[in-house]
Structure 1
Amino acid sequence: MTHTLVEWFSDIHGWLFQSVVQPLLYMLTLGDVTEEAFDGTEWFLLGLLELAILFIVLRPLEAWIPVKKDIDPSARRIDFLYSCIHRLGAFTLVVFFLLDPLFDLIAGHLRLLGVVHFNLETLWPSVTDVPVVAFLIYLVVLDFFDYWYHRASHQFGWWWGLHSLHHSQLDMNLWSDNRNHLLDDLLRDIYLAVIALVIGVEPSQYVLLVAASRMLQSLQHANVRVHFGAIGERLLVSPRFHRTHHAIGIGHESKGGGTLGGCNFAVLFPVWDIVFRTARFSREFAMTGIRDQLPPPEGKGRDYGRGFWAQQWLGLKHMREFARRKTS
């Protein structure tokens, strides 16, 4: 009997857990977290699958139609490390599943008071509760809130101090999406997990929502000369549209030339940039980075770090230093 991909995945998941993870838990006397470890094994495999798909699909495209031909190999390696931390370590999902029991507890107390937990799927019975429709609604709602989180990280000095690490990549590539300060990611993951739980997203749905969003964001950051056309770029964030957000100067500075500001903050759907007047459509594939990291006289030669630990430490220093900057 032929197996579907889902069945193959389930078989591998079960084998890995029973043969490796479960024996290790019992050896370390951690049998009380078996259920959580079973879910964690699934997240690990999903992350591994994501990395494989991204490499198979996007790496040839980067070699075939690159925006920038000479990419520093060390820049790609450090970004790949960030991707492994987030995709294989289930950084985002761990936060959601840690908060889920807390929300269940709160929901239980609210039910005793006669308050029913809100769920977007109940808004239009027989329509919003259709799995595909519910998935798309959740994706759009979460993206709306993600737009505002992203925009805020460009408006407050201390926040930009953390987020600037993501923009300091001069050689954007398919792994650059995950090049973030861990504290910034933790704040974002808590923020989105809380919103997801409030609107009624189930754990299984959240896993798929996160995976879909991450795959699209990896495409946006890839070193590929790809755009979606005049109409397509207004429906879905393309590599060209997002590259403008990473452009030196215009991507993270105000129109008046100030330090904070920028354009193209949408994570998946450009409609938010269009509605809130932060969209900038360009035919150019801009060079990326931050103005002040360029050598004088163009910039200040600011160091954002080359290695993982240096980047994390400098991010904290920049957070403190940039907290004194004014918003645009």
Structure 2
Amino acid sequence: MQLTTAQSSLIVAIIYLGFGLLELARTRLFAKAEQSRDDGIVEIVSTLALTILTQPAILLVVGALGQRFLPQYEGALATLPVVAALALFLVCEDMMQYWWHRASHSFAWLYNLHRAHHNARYMSMRLVYRNNLLYYAMMPSIWFAGVLVYLGLGWFYAFYLIVKMTVIIGAHSDVAWDAPFYRIKALAPVMWLVERTISTPATHHAHHGRHADDPAVNYKGNFGNLLFFWDVLFGTAKITRGYPQSYGVENLPPATLGQQLLWPIVPENKDMHAVIPGALVAQPEPRAVAAG
């Protein structure tokens, strides 16, 4: 059975909505602690921009450039074995995204493109596609994926995308599917392997934690998307099996709506005491992560 990219995207959308319904039932999908009016706007705009415009456009551009300059290579890898195709996507797409993500926390100008993802003071499947509109357009891994699709691996990409996005959506959700498994002693060896292989709620929530002195926070690490193994391999992993007490950005001026979506077109706010319209419409409340 072969899936088209369109069918794959539809399945991902169903999985995304499924996690949304789970949060709606368990952790108040549309009323997260400390959310603001701007949060919803950023999430809707960036999600629609990536899924409807940016990602399809990159695939089309790569295909057009390939046909114009390298037509002889179109479909050249179509008969590649599954294992080889998997290796190419893990290295050229997932590992590349790890390094892009890591760079986004290492260089100030690039962090400004990524900050919107961390500006939310909660975890949720709502954050999966939340970023500056230019962040994904510049993301090397999407362009590399486009190249692999042009080379004939679209059949594999369709399945790969479903698996990767399921892991990422689950890792962002505040309905923590891993929590109950940590309490089952017989599964300890299995979870030891799982949490060092793929991103889980515990490992990825650590990356979104607000306060550096929180033992469950690793803001400058845990960059993995599909594979957490990259963090293990490159020394940025922190595994606590716990969840941060709070989420968001520490010790930076509040970001405006325009800054989150369109920096550097909209300038960075540098006033630590600025009052951002629509910010923090609700009082902070104790955060609870729901066990899956």
Q: Kindly report which structure 2 residues correspond to 1:36-47, keeping only aligned pairs within 5 A, or say none.
A: 43=6, 47=9
* Matching residue of 1:263: 221
RMSD across aligned C-alpha pairs, in angstroms? 3.9
Cα pair 2:132 2:263 within 8 Å, conserved: no
**1:240 and 2:202 correspond:** yes
Give the CA deviation at 1:93: 2.7
Q: Distance in 2 between matches of 1:78 and 1:48?
A: 22
Q: Kindly report which structure 2 residues correspond to 1:68-107, keeping only aligned pairs within 5 A, or say none.
A: 70=33, 72=35, 74=37, 75-76=39-40, 78-87=42-51, 89-107=52-70
Provide Cα deviations, 1:248-267, integer angstroms capped at 9, x if missing partner. Answer: 2449xxx9x9xxx7011111
- Which deviates the most, 278-287 or 76-85? 76-85
Which of 174, 192, 199 does residue 142 from structure 2 map onto? 192
**1:311 and 2:260 correspond:** yes
CA 1:207–1:5: 2 relative to 1, 3 Å? closer
Cα pair 2:8 2:161 within 8 Å, conserved: no
Quick one: higher RCO (CA 8 Å, sep 6+), 1 or 2?
Answer: 2
Q: Kindly report which structure 2 residues correspond to 1:28-39, keeping only aligned pairs within 5 A, or say none.
A: none
Q: Distance in 1 between matches of 2:24 and 2:200?
A: 15
Stretches of structure 2 lacking an aligned partner (at least 5 in a row) = 182-190, 271-292
CA 1:90–1:117: 2 relative to 1, 3 Å? closer
Q: Distance in 1 between matches of 2:263 and 2:55?
A: 23
Q: Distance in 2 between matches of 1:118 and 1:249?
A: 48
Q: Distance in 1 between matches of 2:87 and 2:131?
A: 27
**1:291 and 2:250 correspond:** yes
**1:143 and 2:94 correspond:** yes
Cα pair 1:244 1:264 within 8 Å, conserved: yes
Structure with more helix by fraction: 1
Letter in 1 for 2:87: I
Provide Cα deviations, 1:208-265, integer angstroms capped at 9, x if missing partner. Answer: 44444333222211112332632211111001111111112449xxx9x9xxx70111
* Matching residue of 1:52: 14
CA 1:191–1:291: 2 relative to 1, 3 Å? same
Q: Distance in 1 between matches of 2:84 and 2:34?
A: 40
**1:178 and 2:136 correspond:** no
Stretches of structure 1 lacking an aligned partner (at least 5 in a row) = 7-38, 123-128, 294-301, 322-328
Q: Which structure has the larger Rg over C-alpha atoms?
A: 1
Q: TM-score, normalised by structure 1?
A: 0.63
CA 1:63–1:77: 2 relative to 1, 3 Å? farther
**1:154 and 2:105 correspond:** yes
Q: Distance in 2 between matches of 1:53 and 1:187?
A: 26
Cα pair 1:154 1:160 within 8 Å, conserved: yes
* Matching residue of 1:15: none
Q: TM-score, normalised by structure 2?
A: 0.70
CA 1:154–1:201: 2 relative to 1, 3 Å? farther
Q: Distance in 1 between matches of 2:243 and 2:40?
A: 19
CA 1:101–1:205: 2 relative to 1, 3 Å? farther
Give the CA deviation at 1:156: 0.9
CA 1:282–1:197: 2 relative to 1, 3 Å? same
Identity of paired residues, percent? 20
Q: Distance in 2 between matches of 1:175 and 1:148?
A: 23
Letter in 2 for 1:136: L
CA 1:217–1:201: 2 relative to 1, 3 Å? farther
Report SS of the residue matched to 2:106. Answer: coil
